Structure 1
Amino acid sequence: MSFKIAIIGAGSVGFTKKLFTDILCVPEFKDIEFALTDVSEHNLQMIKAILDRIVEANRLPTRVTATTDRRKALEGARYVISCVRVGGLEAYADDIRIPLKYGIDQCVGDTICAGGILYGQRNIPVILDFCKDMREVAETNVKFLNYANPMAMNTWAAIEYGKVDTVGLCHGVQHGAEQIAEVLGAKSTQELDYVCSGINHQTWFIGLRLNGRSIGKDELVAAFEAHPVYSRQEKLRIDVLKRFGVYSTESNGHLSEYLPWYRKRPDEITRWIDMSDWIHGETGGYLRYSTETRNWFETEYPQFLEAASKPIDREKRSNEHASHILEALETNRVYRGHFNVKNNGVITNLPQDAIIESPGFVDRFGINMAAGITLPEACAATCIASINVQRMSVHAAISGDIDLLKLAVLHDPLVGAVSTPEEVWQMVDEMVVAQAAWLPQYAHAVPAARERLSTSQVKTREWAGAARRSVRSIEELRAEKAALKQAG
């Protein structure tokens, strides 16, 4: 087989390498072309050198090209994969910093809440540019695989406004299944059958069987509470399981910021989170982790390049969906996964226009979703609250309507639990002004927002959050890795 895959945001080096090696685990794909594109020439050259080393070490005919000219990369592509973060860590820092001034403490801030909504405003105009290029220069039936957050908003915009065949992909379902298998004593997830459905980062394990035996709420609660690690790291998630009756795919830290109950009081936040790793609820945890990862990669690049000289081990192919979807579409080897698509009746008690995440099967005919799923009422209610925020956020990003953007933020569950309308209006003005370089659709609104900020009487505070940690230096990271290696 010979076809072209374009990866936008390929400068996300570690993830691009994972996708690349996964795809090359499919024997029929050895003769394909990967076209890498990114706004950073520096990052492009680093990832290209790594992928070239992999190709050379495995004696493959695979072709790798790299260019900052996105349109050139998309020419003739059959598949396009997006891993972009518009605004990079600079804009992301504002997604965390500015809401903290108004009492909004986020762990990640990339899906909804104040940070996720502004992230979507930056991404959506760029996503539509991608779609325009795909319609004009890619293969006629190009498929767009979106890995970039905010997943639902990006995918919603690409389908509804970009008019490109799009599927959103995430690994939350797989990670949740791994946890459940572990607490139930299974040897692997192969022993676990499940139906997981909802929206991205709020999917729910509504059907569970271990070796054919149905697993109920009480057994699952007992298993998690007995686990020596998860009982401590996933306290909030376990509490939601007890109350809703089903387990959520999303991590303790992520889930905490989609709900209005657990992060609204600073003195309550530490009760529900765990500081052993960022993903369990640390304030701005993913921003710190991302910053440390970038710094580590820049410093340790020679070691990453050297590691690329090893042969590809097909047994270590990851459970990221992309390679499995491509394999199913091209070879007709059927793949079952969980995909982000427009609802259109798949989930009976969620809005039809929403982007849902639910089970489907892939073969040569495409992605075929399992329809007629009904969520438990509490799960549906929680999802609908987020969907309403996502819908307004997408429409605001398309229209450049700052008043609609403020209404979207106001209706966010956690924002609404913490902030007054006056605070929300000022916070959005402040974020739009700070991020104006990445928000062309709001250029007309920036002068008035800046003027309002100069005369505002709304008080803010400088607050690091309930559980903030400083970015560690390279020396500290080295020492920690050495200690872990010695202990292991």
Structure 2
Amino acid sequence: MSFKVAFMGAGSIGFTRGLLRDLLAVKEFRDIDVSFTDINDKNLDMVTQLCQRDIEANGLDITIEATTNRRQALQGAKYIFNVVRIGGLEAFQTDIEIPLKYGVDQCVGDTLSAGGIMYGQRGIAEVLDICKDIREVAHDDCLLLNYANPMAMMMWACNKYGRVNTIGLCHGVQNGHKQIAEVFGLEKEDVDIVCAGINHQTWYIKINHQGKDLTGGLLEAFENHPEYSRTEKVRIDMLRRFGYYSTESNGHLSEYVPWYRKRTKEIKEWIDLGSWINGETGGYLRVCTEGRNWFETDFPNWLKEPAFEYKPENRGEEHGSYIVEGLETGRLYRGHFNTVNSGIISNLPDDAIIEAPGYVDRNGINMPKVGDLPLGCAAVCNVSISVQRLSVEAAVNGDDKLLRQAMMMDPLVGAVCNPKEIWQMVDEMLVAGEDWLPQYTEAIEQAKYRLRTDELLPVKDYNGAARLKVKTVEEMAENREKASRNAGEADKSKDRPAGKV
């Protein structure tokens, strides 16, 4: 088989190298065309060198087309992987640190809350330009496989305004599935699940083992688990009060709802510092920064290490390669995908982006109807969907009034800040993001004026309830294997030792 696959934001070592390994482990795909594109030519060159070395070590006759010219990379592409982070870690830092001044303490800040909303404003502005290029130069029947966050907002923009067939992919369901099997002392493959909701707020509404429903015993199993009873306190509390386990980690989930991070003194009661994903303030920013610094410094050593082996048993759990395999070969694949609802989950809005079970084969990606979510779970999702809808419309239209309303409606921001604080925080975030927010030129000038001339509200000198410092390269070198694993993984939560707050 011969077709073209393009990677947008290919300088992201964690996703690009692993996804390419997964694709080229499919025997029918040994002749495909591969293009990489990124605005950072240094990172693009390093990742290309590493992946080309892998390809040659596996005896394949594929030469990666690496270019900073996006349209060239997209020319004729049938499958496009989007792994971009608009603004990079520089913008990500403002997503975390400006809200901290107003008491908004985030662990991740890439999906909802103040950071996720602003991340969406940057990403949507760029992804709509990407969609325009896709419509003009890519394969007529191309599929955009989106890994970029905030998943639901990006997907909403691509499908409604970008007019490009887009499917959203995330590894959250797989991770929670493993945990559920573990607390029952079972293997993952022996536990069947149905998970439905919205990305990062998806609920395991059915859990079966050999025909037996395990849902009723899940709370007790998690409460008695020696590690998860300490590291997943937010998820367990949500399970206790809503009756169903949520896909997202303790740190992620804690910032999507108004109850666990609104009072500084209480945050530590709900988190664990054994791993950033358990709730560390700005934890994802820290590990991403460490990963970038390590890869850039240690890159020459990566070229000396054994190449990835393109074997079926070495494939990861990311859905992307399996979807392409199903569409091209007809082999059936079942996963959980993000798509426009259109009645799949009957008590969430039809135009929202939902995450639910799907099946892939040569006939396409098919999403069976789930029906109603449990009422409480649907209520949690619907709050987030309102924020997503406002955020998408704000980003598409450059409407800072809608942006401010999205911030007001956000569960954590609304729990911590009053309206005047939200208005000032948005002004600061708009100005800080000026280089990546072309749709807000007028609003940014007005925000600059207010910040310069108005009597400003006092802000906090606050570094978060549980923030750890970024490790130096020298400190990371003390455990080179761990540092390299962090830099090279798309899922940076795989190493999750329990610890103490």
TM norm structure 1: 0.97
Offset at residue 480 of structure 1 (A): 4.1
Kept in 1: contact 2:338–2:354 (CA 8 A): yes
**Structure 1 Cα separation of the partners of residues 15 and 306 of structure 2:** 14
Q: Helix, strand or coil for the counterpart of 1:93?
A: helix
Aligned positions of 1:30-69 closer than 5 A: 30-69=30-69
Q: Which residue of 1 aligns with 2:184?
A: 184
**Structure 2 Cα separation of the partners of residues 329 and 483 of structure 1:** 36
Kept in 1: contact 2:291–2:483 (CA 8 A): no
Offset at residue 211 of structure 1 (A): 2.7
**Structure 1 Cα separation of the partners of residues 443 and 202 of structure 2:** 36
Q: Which residue of 2 aligns with 1:200?
A: 199
Pick closer, same or farther for the CA change 1:95–1:484 going to 2, 3 Å.
closer
Q: Helix, strand or coil for the counterpart of 1:31?
A: coil
Amino acid at match of 2:429: M
Offset at residue 484 of structure 1 (A): 11
Pick closer, same or farther for the CA change 1:110–1:482 going to 2, 3 Å.
closer
Offset at residue 483 of structure 1 (A): 9.8
Amino acid at match of 1:405: L
**Structure 2 Cα separation of the partners of residues 444 and 118 of structure 1:** 17
**Structure 2 Cα separation of the partners of residues 394 and 22 of structure 1:** 32
Q: Which residue of 1 aligns with 2:425?
A: 427
Offset at residue 414 of structure 1 (A): 0.5
Pick closer, same or farther for the CA change 1:482–1:358 going to 2, 3 Å.
closer
Structure 2, gaps ≥5 residues long:
485-496
CA deviation string 1:321-363 (max 9, x = no partner)? 0000000000000111111000000000001110000001011
**Structure 2 Cα separation of the partners of residues 177 and 116 of structure 1:** 25
Offset at residue 481 of structure 1 (A): 5.0
Q: Which residue of 1 aligns with 2:155?
A: 155
Q: Which residue of 2 aligns with 1:254?
A: 252
CA deviation string 1:136-155 (max 9, x = no partner)? 00010110000000000000
Aligned positions of 1:11-410 closer than 5 A: 11-186=11-186, 188-217=187-216, 219-410=217-408
Provide the identity percentage.
56
**Structure 2 Cα separation of the partners of residues 40 and 396 of structure 1:** 28
CA deviation string 1:96-138 (max 9, x = no partner)? 0000000000000000100000000001011011110110000
Kept in 1: contact 2:169–2:320 (CA 8 A): yes
CA deviation string 1:223-271 (max 9, x = no partner)? 1122221111101111111111110000000000000000000000000
**Structure 1 Cα separation of the partners of residues 215 and 442 of structure 2:** 54
Q: Which residue of 1 aligns with 2:467?
A: 468
Structure 1, gaps ≥5 residues long:
none
Q: Helix, strand or coil for the counterpart of 2:253?
A: helix
Tell me the number of residue pairs that the alignment of Structure 1 and Structure 2 aligns.
Answer: 484
Kept in 1: contact 2:21–2:308 (CA 8 A): no
Kept in 1: contact 2:196–2:370 (CA 8 A): no
Offset at residue 301 of structure 1 (A): 1.0
Q: Helix, strand or coil for the counterpart of 2:39?
A: coil
CA deviation string 1:422-454 (max 9, x = no partner)? 000000011001111100000011121111112
Q: Helix, strand or coil for the counterpart of 1:161?
A: helix
Kept in 2: contact 1:53–1:308 (CA 8 A): no
Kept in 1: contact 2:261–2:412 (CA 8 A): yes
**Structure 2 Cα separation of the partners of residues 366 and 232 of structure 1:** 42
CA deviation string 1:160-200 (max 9, x = no partner)? 000000001000000000111111111x2110100000000
Kept in 2: contact 1:32–1:63 (CA 8 A): no
Amino acid at match of 1:117: I
**Structure 1 Cα separation of the partners of residues 447 and 482 of structure 2:** 50
Kept in 2: contact 1:205–1:246 (CA 8 A): yes
Offset at residue 390 of structure 1 (A): 0.3
**Structure 1 Cα separation of the partners of residues 116 and 201 of structure 2:** 14
After the TM superposition, which segments of 4 or more aligned residues of structure 1 sit over 3 Å from their partners?
480-485
Q: Helix, strand or coil for the counterpart of 2:84?
A: coil
Pick closer, same or farther for the CA change 1:213–1:368 going to 2, 3 Å.
same
Pick closer, same or farther for the CA change 1:174–1:482 going to 2, 3 Å.
closer
Q: Helix, strand or coil for the counterpart of 2:358?
A: strand
**Structure 1 Cα separation of the partners of residues 325 and 477 of structure 2:** 38
Amino acid at match of 2:119: Y
**Structure 1 Cα separation of the partners of residues 163 and 263 of structure 2:** 42
Amino acid at match of 1:474: V
**Structure 1 Cα separation of the partners of residues 367 and 481 of structure 2:** 46
Pick closer, same or farther for the CA change 1:460–1:90 going to 2, 3 Å.
same
Q: Helix, strand or coil for the counterpart of 1:118?
A: helix
Offset at residue 477 of structure 1 (A): 1.5
Pick closer, same or farther for the CA change 1:203–1:306 going to 2, 3 Å.
same
Kept in 2: contact 1:51–1:308 (CA 8 A): no
Offset at residue 25 of structure 1 (A): 1.1
Kept in 2: contact 1:54–1:310 (CA 8 A): yes
Q: Helix, strand or coil for the counterpart of 1:63?
A: coil
Offset at residue 482 of structure 1 (A): 7.3
